[in-house]
Structure 1
Amino acid sequence: MLTDYLTPSTINFAENVEGWRAAIALVAQPLLESGSITTEYVDSMTDSIAGGGTYIDLGFGIALAHSRPEDGVVRTGLSSLRVTPPVLLNDEAAHPIDQFFCLAAIDAKGHIETMQELAGLLSDDELRSELLAAQTSAEVTAVLHKIGTP
């Protein structure tokens, strides 16, 4: 399922991003462009993080930005952004992030299914390391295709 959402058009890389707010805007951009989310969804994610939402820090320099479906989800989508160098989530030194994901789920079922698959990827030490080493969308896609293969 991740390969249905994470495609060359939703996997991006950026250098010298001016802080976490810019990173959230950049990771959300493919979903905005596809019509999967509205600008209100981006605002909701940003407001949540600014209000102390460092809970989106999954560890290993990875953050999963998301909000509630009613905050502007049109259809389920997922995007990814790798930033170099890392940015500080909510400007907190304890939360350097260089891999952002943006999840937009139309309902709880889609949210849970996508989260479970993403958790499977990120909890596998080898796949997570390969993901974090990927420098192109093709390399990210290759890692995604390894999920669930022996």
Structure 2
Amino acid sequence: MLEEFLRPGAVLYEDNVEGWQQAVDEAAQPLLDAGTIRPEYVDAIKESIAKPGGTYMDLGSGVALAHARPEAGVVQTSLSALHVGQPFLLADDPDHPITTMFCLAAEDANKHLSLMQALATFLSSEANQERLAKVSSSQELESVLTAVEQ
């Protein structure tokens, strides 16, 4: 399911990032490179996370969803993923340690819903959550995200 939204090269692994801002930059870079988002979309994500009561999604189990409104710079619906070996704190909040960040770009409400449904289906599986937590390379992450057993 997720593989229809993931572009080649959109699945990344890093041992460590300097913080949530770098995680957003790294997670968004494949979408920038593919031309599915514009730089202002990344800025909108960061602004949303940084403001008090920011609109970001900590999905639990160390997973976060970085996104902004489509009009902020989405060109085409797409998804990327970054997994890190050492957790970073979303919005610098110790209550939100994150190891996997998805960057979601949806061009409209319908695409948004189908992408969110695919992601929710994937993350609702405890087996997928366990496999995701053990990832140690971009190849492993891609294998977990595109496994048929979702």
Aligned to 2:92: 91
Q: How many residues align?
A: 148
> CA–CA distance in 1 between the matches of 2:18 and 2:81?
17
For residues 73 and 30 of structure 1, the distance between their equivalents in structure 2, rounded to whole angstroms, comes to: 13
Task: Tell me if structure 1 keeps the 8 A contact 2:83–2:141.
Answer: no
TM-superposed CA distance for 1:14, in Å, is 1.1
TM-score, normalised relative to structure 2: 0.91
Identity %, equivalent residues? 49
More helix by share: 1
1:23 and 1:76 map into 2 onto residues whose CA distance is: 20
Q: List alignment gaps of at least 5 residues for structure 1.
A: none
Instruction: Give the stretch that moved more between structures: 50-59 or 92-101.
Output: 50-59
| Matches of 1:147 and 1:75, distance apart in 2 | 27
Q: In structure 2, what is the equivalent of residue 2 of structure 1?
A: 2
| Farther-moved stretch of structure 1 (58-67 vs 137-146) | 137-146
Q: CA deviation at 1:8?
A: 4.8
**Counterpart in 2 of 1:100?**
101
| 8 Å contact from structure 1 (residues 86, 98) kept in 2 | yes
For residue 10 of structure 1, give the secondary structure of its aligned residue in structure 2: strand
- How far apart are the structure 1 equivalents of 2:149 and 2:29? 26
Question: For the residues of structure 2 that align with 1:146 and 1:128, how far apart are their CA atoms?
Answer: 15
Task: Decide whether aligned partners of structure 1 residues 54 and 92 sit closer, same or farther in structure 2, where only a CA change above 3 A counts.
Answer: farther
Runs of 4+ in 1 over 2 A off after TM superposition: 4-8, 52-55, 134-148
Judge conservation of contact 1:7–1:141 (CA < 8 Å) in 2: no
Check the 8 A contact 1:61/1:95 in 2, yes or no. Answer: yes
Instruction: Give the match for residue 136 of structure 2.
Output: 135
TM-score by length of 1: 0.91
- CA separation in 1, counterparts of 2:125 and 2:16? 28
Q: Output one character per residue of 1:102-134: Cα deviation in whole Å (capped at 9) or x when no partner.
A: 000010111110100100111110112112222
CA contact (8 A) 1:80 1:99 kept: yes
Identify unmatched segments of 5+ residues in structure 2.
none
1:119 aligns with 2:131: no
Letter in structure 1 aligned against 2:140: E
